């Protein structure tokens, strides 16, 4: 691995059977939801290095949740596990029958984080929400979120409801990864400039391997608040279908009477999606503009790249 890589340590924790390894496998290892049933329990700690946006490397520690392992994390392995953590992701099974024990382990994690990595960001995923009756989901999640925020003080935590069977998993992980991107504000500023120059309604930037949304800009209000996660889910499933046929997905254009959507390889680590509603702008012009912007965004992606904005010239 390159010595110039920026490594970010991410702890993935929670009781055994809460769904940690399943969600990791879907996001980072191209599993589909039904295939996660064959995954076994994690033994102790599984380490994986996920290269993300070129030089950014997620050092992911998937920590087995059996009682014996959990106790070891807080005693003999405490310094090793909780030192230099950028993000703690704690997964709760919403239907757990040992909620009190789950909360106890979570508080033990927070104490260790406060001692060893006080600047770490904390995320709680209330998982397997598909098992809860639909009309009860909002209420149950709100109650659990309030409890977790209270227990987390003086640290702050961000909570998400998740399920491997819908787009909520992508929403949560996109939000988490967004926090780790070092030059995200510069990326967003340039994406805004790009969208305005080409007169797009909306532009989305996806990480190439995971298809998580890492940045976006919209000029017009859109009705579906969950569209990013739905697109991530749909396109990733389509990419997997292509790979099973020994084909590779590169680009797509979808057009109807109201809009045109272009999805294309953008940089070596991203895909871009451009939404256009102006019928007077031909497809060829939009595709040329995407091509012309590629080199500029390649420079922005590099963690050690230039800090000043570059001027784009679009045709």
Length of the chain: 315
Whole-number pLDDT of residue 96: 87
- In degrees rounded to 5, what are phi and psi of residue 58? -85, 115
Q: How far is 49 from 57, CA to CA, in rounded Å?
A: 6
- Taking 60 as the threshold, does the pLDDT of residue 243 lie above it? yes
Give 182's pLDDT tier (boundaries 50, 70, 90): confident
Q: How far is 283 from 280, CA to CA, in rounded Å?
A: 10
Give 305's pLDDT tier (boundaries 50, 70, 90): very low
Q: How far is 62 from 20, CA to CA, in rounded Å?
A: 7
- Taking 60 as the threshold, does the pLDDT of residue 261 lie above it? yes
pTM: 0.81
Determine how β-strand 251-255 pairs with β-strand 213-218: unpaired
- Taking 90 as the threshold, does the pLDDT of residue 84 lie above it? yes
Q: How far is 315 from 80, CA to CA, in rounded Å?
A: 53
What mean pLDDT comes out for the span 226-255?
82
Mean pLDDT of the residues in the chain:
84
Looking at the chain, list the stretches that DSSP marks H as alpha helix, in order from N- to C-terminal side: 20-28, 67-74, 78-82, 99-116, 137-152, 168-178, 184-197, 227-244, 283-301
What mean pLDDT comes out for the span 203-218?
87
- Taking 70 as the threshold, does the pLDDT of residue 19 lie above it? yes
- Taking 50 as the threshold, does the pLDDT of residue 47 lie above it? yes
What kind and span of H or E run contains 61?
strand 56-63
The conformation of residue 201, written as its DSSP 8-state character, comes to: S
What mean pLDDT comes out for the span 276-289?
90
Identity of the highest mean pLDDT range in 4-8, 36-40, 50-54, 77-81: 77-81
The larger pLDDT score, comparing residue 203 to residue 257, is at: 203
Whole-number pLDDT of residue 28: 82
What mean pLDDT comes out for the span 221-228?
77
The rounded percent of the chain whose pLDDT value lies above 90 is 34
Q: How far is 266 from 247, CA to CA, in rounded Å?
A: 19
Give 41's pLDDT tier (boundaries 50, 70, 90): low
Q: How far is 138 from 120, CA to CA, in rounded Å?
A: 28
Whole-number pLDDT of residue 184: 81
Tokens representing residue 245 in the block: 């046929």
The larger pLDDT score, comparing residue 68 to residue 205, is at: 205
The larger pLDDT score, comparing residue 283 to residue 31, is at: 283
Give 142's pLDDT tier (boundaries 50, 70, 90): very high
């Amino acid at each position: 691995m390159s010595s110039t890589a920026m490594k970010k340590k991410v702890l993935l924790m929670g009781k055994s059977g809460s769904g940690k390894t399943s969600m990791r496998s879907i996001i980072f290892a191209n599993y589909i939801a039904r295939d996660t049933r064959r995954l076994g329990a994690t033994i102790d700690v599984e380490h994986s290095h996920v290269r993300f946006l070129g030089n950014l490397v997620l050092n992911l520690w998937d920590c087995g949740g059996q009682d014996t392992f959990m106790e070891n994390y807080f005693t003999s392995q405490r310094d090793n596990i909780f030192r230099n953590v950028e993000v703690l992701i704690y997964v709760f099974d919403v239907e757990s029958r040992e909620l009190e024990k789950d909360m106890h382990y979570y508080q033990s994690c927070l104490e260790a984080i406060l001692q060893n990595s006080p600047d770490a960001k904390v995320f709680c995923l209330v998982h397997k929400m598909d098992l809860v009756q639909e009309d009860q989901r909002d209420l149950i999640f709100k109650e659990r979120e309030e409890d977790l925020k209270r227990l987390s003080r003086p640290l702050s935590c961000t909570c998400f409801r998740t399920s491997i069977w819908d787009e909520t998993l992508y929403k949560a992980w996109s939000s988490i990864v967004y926090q780790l991107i070092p030059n995200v504000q510069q990326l967003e500023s340039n994406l805004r400039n790009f969208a305005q120059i080409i007169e797009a309604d909306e532009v989305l930037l996806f990480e190439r391997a995971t298809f998580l949304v890492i940045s976006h800009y919209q000029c017009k209000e859109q009705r579906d608040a969950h569209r990013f996660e739905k697109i991530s889910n749909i396109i990733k499933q389509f990419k997997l279908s292509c790979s099973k046929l020994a084909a590779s997905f590169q680009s797509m254009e979808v057009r109807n009477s109201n809009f045109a959507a272009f999805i294309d390889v953008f940089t070596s680590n991203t895909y871009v999606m451009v939404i256009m509603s102006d019928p007077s702008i031909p497809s060829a012009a939009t595709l040329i503009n995407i091509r012309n912007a590629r080199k500029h965004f390649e420079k922005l992606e590099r963690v050690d790249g230039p800090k000043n904005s570059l001027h784009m010239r679009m045709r």
